[in-house]
Amino acid sequence: MSGDRVTKVLLFISSLTILLLSAGIVISLFGGALPAFREFGFRFITSSAWNPTAGSEEYGAMSFIAGTVITSILALIICIPMAFSTSLFIAEYYKGTRTSGILRSLVDLLAGIPSIVYGFWGFYALRPLLVATGLTDQGFGVFTASLVLAIMIVPYATSLSAEIISMVPAELKEAAYSLGATRREVIFSVVIPSARSGIIASFILALGRALGETMAVTMLIGNANVIPKGLFAPGNTMASVIANQFGEASGLKMSALIAIGLLLFMITALVNYLGKLIIKRFA
Amino acid sequence: MKKQIFILMAAMALLLVSCGGGGSTTGKQKQITLSAAGATFPQPFYNLAFKKYNEAGGPLINYGGIGSGGGIKSLRDQIVDFAATDAYLSDAELAEMPGEVVHIPTCIGAVVIAYNLPGVTDLQLTPELLEGIFLGNIKKWNDPKILAANPGLAVPDMEITVVYRSDGSGTTYIFSDYMSKVSPAWKAQLGTGKALNWPAGIGAKGNPGVSGTISQSQGSIGYIGYEYAFAQKIPMAKVMNSAGLFIEPTLESFTAAAAAEMPADTRVMLTNSPNPAAYPITSFTWIIMYKELAYGKHSSEAAEAAVKTVKWLTGEEAQAIATSVHYAALPQNASLQAAELLRGITYQGLTVLR
């Protein structure tokens, strides 16, 4: 066998393994979720009941779907201005300077901080601040969780957007400058329009991360298994309820948790697919 | 090229070999390794006790604090030498096990009502107040009902924030078992379980999560294992017991709860004890193991070490360790019963403890 063939076979085997692994995950999620869907049917998705007491067991995923979607979207809304302006600063205004280099490494550093550390910071530093504003009694709830989530996803959106903004061809910008455009005009009528799809995609990928975030959210959202009644009310997310409850779960409850896992998997896959679609559409 | 393939295969084989090892006894040393898993409630006691037992020449015991449910599952799958649980197995759960299971009580734990109220350290609560607060019907600290049970106490005008366990837990089971005994409304609305459909408040993960949240949030109240409140110096409420007396949570008042008659298999909840000196929210925590230890690849050495370990755990030396980490020691009748049960454990039909 030639070296080329060996490499080809090895690469084929390892990529096939990844394919088989993901298929295996989906199949076992389906298998585990089946009892819950059989018991509750479509109501499992639309119902917000969550009663684990033996004898009157009833499970519905709506509270957690709502919690996940609300916190992630809110985090995205908070994240957009921060990440957008930082990426413009790094990749356009101060491109190639020392300041931009330092800022870029700081952003990458933020991305490397473990979730639990953000949770700690949110619990001991951010929460008392929010309580001091008088907006909330204890500081646990959707808003606090979203705020920390936003800070956690800013680095992802920023470094991706910055990458894409810096890839805008210099000729385009130079052409605009030669026509007498100011720097602001170049940015808003040349750089942003040509990097638009990439920027949007970077925010969608950041949203995908927010959807699955667990530890920091668990520490701050209040873990009440209800649809949040307001911005400062406690709720719970899909990832957080699984992390909290799988340890002592069995039977139907375990199946309900796996079904939530499957739903989360599907929502995340959908969001990532949308991101890819947008990149393809506009690129 | 053949050489490269050979090296690759050799590397893979090596990897497989290094992953495949393990087992309950390792070849290099004669030391026996036992694995156990289960409840987190008694984990501080078990960790310390197992460490001391190992230092004194006993087996090395790996205890995984994965929760009572996980422990029961591990024992059912026969992947541990023994398991630990805060709630005794129901008849249905026992029927699902592949063999007969014995319950050995190891110590008494208590669930205390911890709170964070500026300037208040001697709160007294009745079962009716607990029901009202945890069901979300009493919303303010200066509610007349709270004031009536605490004459002369300067209770501030603050919202009550209930903190409960967001994860399934034996602590929740013990607390809800007590509440279901003393409050029909609780029994109808929430019942008894390791996780409940809480109508009010916020959830936090684990005993450390709840105690951390309470100590960080003014106006909060929640239920936690005694040792956690004690270690973090969080004020604990006196609770009115079945004799109508407000009882302070102390190791003596916990042991008093267990002084009553016990069934032969020790499967009994100690909550709401009739003893007038007893703190009402207490419970045994158990080690569970098979009555016949010859199953699967379980060696007789591992079986003997497991039974001896549990026997030591219920003995005087380990009980003193329990007290040092704020669990109440077993009363005499319970430790006698534990010894009796351990004598009944066999390996291939022969008694392990001779």
Q: Which of A143, A238, A248 to mutate to test the interface with B (most CBs of B within 10 A)?
A: A248
Which residue does chain B place closest to A142, by CA atoms?
B202
CB contact under 8 A, B204 and A223: yes
Answer whether B191's CB lies under 8 Å from B165's CB.
no
Instruction: Report pLDDT for B26.
Output: 42
Domain ranges of chain B: 32-109+283-351, 110-282
Instruction: Report pLDDT for B17.
Output: 43
Tokens of A97: 């300077």
Find the length of chain A: 283
- Nearest Cα residue to A111 out of A75, A159, A155: A155
CA A91 vs CA A159, A166, B241: distances in Å: 9, 5, 68
Residue range B251-308, pLDDT digits in tens: 999 999 987 778 888 999 999 999 999 999 999 999 999 999 998 888 999 999 999 9
- Residue B23 clears pLDDT 50, i.e. is over it: no
- Phi/psi for A187 (5° steps) reads -65, -50
Instruction: Report pLDDT for B68.
Output: 84
CB contact under 8 A, A249 and B73: no
Neighboring chain A residues of B202 at a CB cutoff of 8 Å:
138, 140, 222-224, 234
CA B104 vs CA A219, A224, B262, B284, B344: distances in Å: 35, 35, 13, 9, 12
- Output the CA torsion sign for B10, B11, B12, B13: positive
Neighboring chain B residues of A236 at a CB cutoff of 8 Å:
166, 203
Neighboring chain A residues of B73 at a CB cutoff of 8 Å:
250
Neighboring chain B residues of A225 at a CB cutoff of 8 Å:
197-198, 203
Pick among 3.90.960.10, 3.90.79.10, 3.30.70.270, 3.40.190.10: CATH of B32-109+283-351: 3.40.190.10
Q: Tell me if chain A has a CB within 8 Å of the CB of B38.
A: no
- Residue B313 clears pLDDT 50, i.e. is over it: yes
Give how far B131 is from chain A: nearest CA, Å. 17
Instruction: Report pLDDT for A247.
Output: 78
List the single residue in A6, A53, A55 with the smallest CB-CB distance to B197: A53
What sections of chain B are H helices per DSSP? 2-20, 43-55, 68-76, 91-96, 127-134, 144-149, 170-182, 184-189, 206-216, 226-232, 251-257, 300-313, 316-324, 332-343
List the single residue in A54, A223, A247 with the smallest CB-CB distance to B67: A247
Distance CA(B202)–CA(A72), nearest Å, equals 20
Residue range B315-330, pLDDT digits in tens: 999 999 999 999 999 9
CB contact under 8 A, A53 and B220: no
Residue range B47-78, pLDDT digits in tens: 999 999 999 999 999 999 888 888 998 999 99
Q: Taking all residues of chain B, what is their mean pLDDT, rounded to a whole number?
A: 89
Tokens of B88: 């005794």
Find the length of chain B: 354
CB contact under 8 A, A245 and B195: yes
CA A105 vs CA A116, A150, A158, A159, A205: distances in Å: 21, 19, 11, 10, 20
Instruction: Report pLDDT for A282.
Output: 65
CB contact under 8 A, A53 and B161: no
Counting DSSP H helices and E strands in chain B, the numbers are 14, 13
List the single residue in A6, A52, A245 with the smallest CB-CB distance to B5: A6
The ipTM of this complex is 0.83
- Phi/psi for B141 (5° steps) reads -65, -30
Give how far A113 is from chain B: nearest CA, Å. 21
Distance CA(A48)–CA(A217), nearest Å, equals 20
Pairing type for strands B246-247 and B238-240 reads antiparallel
- Distance in Å from the first CA to the final CA of chain A: 41
Q: Looking at per-residue confidence, does A75 or B194 come out higher?
A: A75
- What is the three-class DSSP state of B282? strand
Give the homologous superfamily in CATH for domain B110-282: Periplasmic binding protein-like II (3.40.190.10)
Which residue does chain A place closest to B69, by CA atoms?
A248
Instruction: Report pLDDT for A1.
Output: 63
Which residue does chain B place closest to A59, by CA atoms?
B197
Pairing type for strands B350-351 and B161-165 reads unpaired
Average pLDDT estimate for B166-183: 93
Distance CA(B213)–CA(B221), nearest Å, equals 9
CB contact under 8 A, A56 and B195: no
Which residue does chain A place closest to B189, by CA atoms?
A53
Instruction: Report pLDDT for A275.
Output: 83
Which residue does chain A place closest to B215, by CA atoms?
A124
Instruction: Report pLDDT for B30.
Output: 64
Helix, strand, coil shares of chain B as percentages rounded to 5?
40, 20, 40
List the single residue in B161, B191, B203 with the smallest CB-CB distance to A53: B191
Which residue does chain A place closest to B71, by CA atoms?
A248
Instruction: Report pLDDT for B27.
Output: 41
Pairing type for strands B101-116 and B282-290 reads antiparallel
Instruction: Report pLDDT for B4.
Output: 54
Q: From first to last of its 283 residues, what are the pLDDT tens digits of chain A?
A: 678 899 999 999 999 999 999 999 999 999 999 999 999 999 999 999 999 888 888 999 999 999 999 999 999 999 999 999 999 999 988 888 999 999 999 999 998 999 999 999 999 999 999 999 888 888 999 999 999 999 999 999 999 999 999 999 999 999 999 999 998 999 999 999 989 888 998 999 899 999 999 999 999 999 999 999 999 999 999 999 999 988 778 889 999 999 999 999 999 999 989 888 887 876 5
Distance CA(B281)–CA(B174), nearest Å, equals 7
Instruction: Report pLDDT for B3.
Output: 52
Residue A41: DSSP 8-state: T
Q: Do domains B32-109+283-351 and B110-282 have the same CATH topology?
A: yes
CA B221 vs CA B64, B120, B161, B164: distances in Å: 29, 12, 6, 9
- Contacts for A170-174 with beta carbons within 8 Å, 24 or more apart? none
CB contact under 8 A, A51 and B197: yes
- Output the CA torsion sign for B36, B40, B42, B48: positive
Give how far B203 is from chain A: nearest CA, Å. 5
